[in-house]
Chain A
Amino acid sequence: MPLPRSIAVVSPRYPDGVTVGGAETLLRRLAERLAARGLDVTFLATCARNHFTWANECPADVRRIHNVEVRRFPVNTDRDPALFLARQSAICRGETLTRAEQAEWLRHSVNSDTLLEHLRAESVRYERILAGPYLFGLVWSVASAFPDRTILTPCLHDEAFARQELIGEMLRSVRGCLFNTEPERELAIRLHGPEAGRGVVVGMGIEPFEADARAFAARRGLTAPYVFYCGRREAGKGTPLLTDYLDVFRARTGRDIALVCAGSGPLDAKPFVHDAGFLSETEKREALAGAVAFVHPSTLESLGIVLLESFTAGVPALVHAAGAVLRWQCARSGGGLWFRHYPDFEAELELLLERPDLRHAMGERARAFVRREYSWDAVERRLFGALEEL
């Protein structure tokens, strides 16, 4: 099948530096790569920045960013946040929702009728629609309205939302999916059958970089060795677990080790926790390069972008054993260890602290792995192959 000439990329938010989200970043990068190859690419997003309020904060306008036309549309104002939260809470409690209730959950999530109108009006232009992540009403509405043209980038996690019947139907009805990893595709199949696993594992390219491993600590006045975390700070990502574990680790082993946390969200105010806030790309790379390890206790990841960046910096990782994707990345790269509980964490972190030779060997393997599997050349081969296939 020939490559489509024109593609719409749909996501609830456009990542413009203020907005942070792995799935949105992935879609933006894929869109820019497609545009760089001469395809006509339009990124369609809402005017929202905050994924809790979905308030229309950005103007509904059209811009051209890195050869991609970026169009923003207002979020529907008739959504009922109370009903949405009620349905979402019921899902989280493990209750079984009827189809009508699931539809209410999705309808009162983020949606934009004007965005859908645009897709209908430009139906001749857009040969394919690349949409994600899976759990937002907007993506479901687009996939339901244009299943024959939609390719999902689901960014699927093993969570209650993914088990909903309507989500399964969406995965089965579209042309196919661009999965980030093999465990993500296996999860789709396990939850919703083989039809839901139609697609290709693509992922995202990681730019190679060299960073000064001493610069971050010197600038921030950090004298102790540190482990690094970057991303949203919330229970779902495992940051409370990380601060608790490190607190006990320091008390039990008597080792002075700090935790540097970059990103947004609340953080336990403990003396050994260094809140780095939002970091520029350069600072983030320097912080990664100087760390003893990158620690990612989240179990809900579909790719692990910062994990791959830590590998690029030649820094090993410590991840939660219950996170299938991150554990898979660590196992196949040879760049990380995984822990079930605190005793594993203590033993593994002590090992990394005691054995710089081991850290170096793991870091080198990890770096080579990213070069091999996540260079943009490798990812583009998979991406264009997928677009020809699906």
Chain B
Amino acid sequence: MYPEDLRFTKDHEWVRVAGDRGTVGITDYAQKQLGDVVFLELPDAGRALKAGENFGTVESVKAVSELLSPVAGEVVEANAALVKGPEAVNTDPYGAGWMLVVKLAEPAAVAALMDAAAYKAFVESESK
């Protein structure tokens, strides 16, 4: 699953851009690696993030993983429903599994992230 409208990072986060807003989550590959997600910690609205900065934690039954922001900007909204029901990270990573909406500091910087084809190739090389 590599939706064409997203951009991806090597840390397996995605961002979907609409205007000056970016919606952020983790990829289908990342959720499969983690297994059943049972815990999520997300930042409050208003937090300023740099690209690559740690913005929270996702935990499966067995593993703890840091969340790294694919973009720079200010957190507009964190997905409160996902904190209550983190299993959506597994069942719908590109939909209900969204984590943050960020007001992008540099919308143009998103173009430097991998597109679906490049990310697919990256995952295939990593899982070899």
**A and B interact physically:** no
| Interface set of B (CB-CB < 8 Å, partner A) | none
| Interface set of A (CB-CB < 8 Å, partner B) | none
